[in-house]
Amino acid sequence: MSLGKQMSRMLQVNLDAVQHNMTVLRATAPAAQAMAVVKADGYGHGASDVGRASVEAGAEWLGVADISEALALRDSGLDVPILAWLHPDTRRFSEAVAHSVTLGVSTLGQLEAAARAAQEVRHPAVVHIKVETGLHRNGFDDDRLADAFNLARHMESRGLVRIEGIFSHLANASESADRAALDRFHSAVSLARAARLEPRLRHVAATAAGFFRPDTHLDLVRWGIGLYGVAPDDGDPRDLSLRPALTMCTRVVATRTVRAGEGISYNYADIAESDLRTALVPVGYADGIPRLASPGAWVSIGGVRCSVRGRIAMDQMVVECPPSVREGDQVTIFGDPTMGAPSVSEWAKSAGTIGYDVIARLPRPGGRLTRRAAHYNHVGASAADRIIAGHGVST
Ligand SMILES: *Cc1c(COP(=O)(O)O)cnc(C)c1O
């Protein structure tokens, strides 16, 4: 059905684009395994839908921050390896081990908790050891590595843990900074081997390094933002052969004329320079639209670029539009630029932030935002095309 009257605000997730992107990413690092990173509900796209589509397209792994996210993926029936790497506490380690969630471990306390969990559920904990190489977030520092590896080896010999991987994360600071981080990482791997550990999977690269630093691919690449068709540097995704997977659309709720010299939206921060036709678009910062994207942001109504005028409010915003625009016309807030829609990255740039920030803070569906994931083949009409045409949204 079309974007119906009941569905006033809608996120359309094109799983075909996700699968296309996974195919591109795998070809970019052909010798490495591919992890689809679906933390934060799949960067706002839906973790289980994106996870399943990615696995179908060849991803060997799923990656999340929290154990709760990993267990939700298991609940939805995904049985591939899942790595969870950020643990505010270790309370759910037993559940994680019981559900074969691989634990990224950054402290001796976590390593001990993994061994205890293994004893409790009578199943070895599969562990990837995180090494600090410059970001100063989590991971073992150089001076703690020997202790960590010795303890890990001891636990492995008792059958409590299996050290399957060793990993780190890059700062994308500069060529030389990433080189230094990679050198530190390789030293850590040597130290692990000296402690008679055999981590089969060494991994440090996320999307940016995956595309721009082939020397960081190692055994596995953790692909996040690229999977969603957003370039890691907010460049044009087409330059990386990626397709944006997400379209946000709604309908015009009112149109009017604003006379020259009159104010638009709160504080009259914007004054009509001449008589303007405007449309009221019922999405605002409560729907994840960055308030600071105005001035500068625009939406597409029937393929026409319509600038946001005045302050973006909690539930709505005003755009300048052609006289032909009518109440009920479909509006694409962001989507695939090849279909004439602004990209997530354009919104991000207007708001002084990055594409990651725009998509990750979209509200979870279930409130006033509807989210539909479907396969839209780009051969022929794209998702955005069909949504704008009003006949492409399946239920
Ligand atoms: C989020 C995250 C990723 C994915 O990063 P992208 O830049 O989105 O590809 C990879 N690894 C870790 C540890 C992360 O936290």
In angstroms, the CA 346 to CA 82 distance is 32
The Å distance, Cα 356 to ligand 1 centre, comes to 10
Whether residue 377 has pLDDT greater than 70 = no
Partners of 337 in the beta sheet?
A: none
Atom of ligand 1 nearest to the CA of 43: 8
The verdict on whether 268 is a catalytic residue reads no
Mean of the per-residue pLDDT values of the chain = 93
Sorting pLDDT into bands at 50, 70 and 90, what band is 394? very low
Q: What are phi and psi of 353, to 5 degrees?
A: -135, -160
Catalytic residue among 5, 39, 228, 376: 39
Look up 39 and say whether it is catalytic. Answer: yes
Q: Render pLDDT for 101-129 as a digit per residue (tens, 0 to 9).
A: 999 999 999 999 999 999 999 999 999 99
Lowest mean pLDDT, pick from 29-38, 131-140, 304-313:
131-140
pLDDT at 390: 40
Tell me the average pLDDT across 161-171: 96
pLDDT at 172: 86
Residue 58 tokens, joined: 């060849």
Token couple for 150 = 């010795």
Q: What three-state secondary structure class fits 205?
A: strand
In the structure, what pLDDT confidence band is assigned to residue 7 with cuts at 50, 70 and 90?
low
Backbone φ and ψ for 63, nearest 5 degrees, come out as -130, 140
Q: What is the per-residue pLDDT for 114? A: 98
130, 266, 285, 376: the catalytic one is 266
pTM: 0.93
Quick: pLDDT tens for 187-215.
Answer: 999 999 999 999 999 999 999 999 999 99
> Contact at 8 Å (CB) between 359 and 344?
yes
Q: Rounded to whole angstroms, how far apart are CA atoms 204 and 223?
A: 11
Q: Report the percentage of the chain scoring pLDDT > 70.
A: 93
Instruction: Render pLDDT for 314-347 as a digit per residue (tens, 0 to 9).
Output: 999 999 999 999 999 999 999 999 989 999 999 9
Q: How far apart are CA 34 and CA 94, in angstroms?
A: 26
Residue 316 is predicted with a pLDDT of: 97
* pLDDT mean over 223-230: 98
Q: Is the CB of 85 under 6 A from ligand 1?
A: yes
